[in-house]
Chains A and B, each alone.
Chain A
Amino acid sequence: MIRSRLRHPMVDVALKALGRNRLQTGLTVLGITVGVATVLAMMAVGAGAQRSIEQQVRAAGLNQLTIRAGNWRPKVTDSDEAVAHQGDARESLTHPLHRLNEDVVKIAFHPEDDPMEKHDHPTARQRLGDLEAGLGSAATMTFDDAEAIRDMPGVQYVAGGIHENVRVHFDKKRWFTRMHGTDVMMPSIKRAWTFSAGRFFTEREQDRAEQVLVLGQIVVDRLFGAGANAVGRTVTLWNQPFEVIGVVTSATWVVQPAPGDDQFDAVYMPYTTTQRLLNLSKLNDITVTAASSGDVLRLSREITRLLRVRHRIGDNDPDDFTIITQATKALTTGGLPPSVARAVAANVAELEKVTLEQLAITMERASRTMTWLLAAVAAVSLLVGGIGIMNITLLSVTERTREIGLRMAVGARRRDVMRQFLFEAMVIAAAGGLIGVIVGVIASVSIARTLQWATVVSPLSVLLAFGVATAVGVFFGWYPARRAAQLDPIVALRRE
Chain B
Amino acid sequence: MIQVHDLTKQYHVGDHVVHALRGLTMSIAAGEFVTIVGPSGSGKSTFMHILGCLDRPTSGRYVLNSRDVSTLPADELARVRNETIGFVFQGFNLLARTSALENVELPLLYTRKGVVKASERRQRAIAALEAVGLTDRAEHHPSQLSGGQQQRVAIARALVTQPSLLLADEPTGNLDSSTSHEVMEIFASLCTSRGITIVLITHERDIAAYGTRIVDFKDGSIVSDHPAEPFDSRVARVAGDTLAQGRRR
Contacts and interface: CB of A to CB of B under 8 A. Distances in A.
B66 to A, nearest CB: 21
Given A9-B109, A9-B115, A403-B95, A411 B79 contact: yes
A409 B97 contact: no
A44 interface: no
Given A20-B97, A493-B89, A493-B93, A411 B54 contact: no
Contact of B110 (A16, A403, A416, A489): A416
A368 interface: no
B87 A409 contact: yes
A442 B173 CA distance: 59
Contacts of B116: 9
Interface string B48-60: 0100101100000
A413 B89 CA distance: 20
Contact of B93 (A8, A402, A415, A416): A402
Contacts of B55: 490
Given A410-B87, A416-B110, A16 B81 contact: no
B83 interface: yes
Given A403-B95, A493-B89, A493-B93, A410 B106 contact: yes
A406 B81 CA distance: 11
Interface residues of B, number: 29
Interface in B94-144: 95, 97-98, 106-107, 109-111, 115-116, 118, 121
Contacts of A408: 54, 78, 81
B243 interface: no
B82 A410 contact: yes
A407 B106 contact: yes
A8, A16, A402, A406: residue with the most chain B Cβ atoms closer than 10 Å: A406
A409 B169 CA distance: 13
A411 B111 CA distance: 7
Contact of A490 (B49, B81, B118): B49
Given A8-B115, A490-B49, A407 B110 contact: yes
Interface size class of A (residues with CB under 8 A): 20 to 34
Contacts of B118: 5, 9
B29 interface: no
Interface in A474-496: 489-490, 493
B139 to A, nearest CB: 12
A212 B87 CA distance: 93
A411 B115 contact: no
Chain A at the B interface: SS class: helix
A101 to B, nearest CB: 84
A412 B97 contact: no
Nearest to A7: B115
A13 B109 contact: yes
A414 interface: yes
A414, A415, A416, A493: residue with the most chain B Cβ atoms closer than 10 Å: A493
A408 B106 CA distance: 11
B75 interface: yes
Contacts of A16: 98
Interface string B70-85: 0000110011011100
A411 B85 CA distance: 9
B95, B111, B157: residue with the most chain A Cβ atoms closer than 10 Å: B95
Contact of B81 (A5, A7, A10, A410): A410
B165 to A, nearest CB: 13
B98 A411 contact: no
Contacts of A20: 97
A413 B78 contact: yes
A410 B110 contact: yes
Nearest to A496: B91
A412 B49 contact: no
A411 B76 CA distance: 9
Interface in A386-444: 402-403, 405-416
A413 B106 contact: no
B75 A411 contact: no
Nearest to B79: A411
21 contacts: A9-B118, A10-B109, A13-B109, A16-B98, A20-B97, A409-B52, A409-B81, A409-B87, A410-B81, A410-B82, A411-B79, A411-B81, A411-B107, A411-B110, A411-B111, A412-B110, A413-B75, A414-B74, A416-B78, A490-B54, A493-B89
Interface of B: 49, 52, 54-55, 74-75, 78-79, 81-83, 87, 89, 91, 93, 95, 97-98, 106-107, 109-111, 115-116, 118, 121, 157, 161
Given A411-B81, A411-B161, A413-B74, 20 more contacts: A7-B115, A9-B109, A9-B116, A9-B118, A20-B97, A403-B95, A406-B95, A409-B52, A410-B110, A411-B78, A411-B79, A411-B111, A412-B78, A412-B109, A412-B110, A413-B110, A414-B74, A415-B75, A489-B54, A493-B89
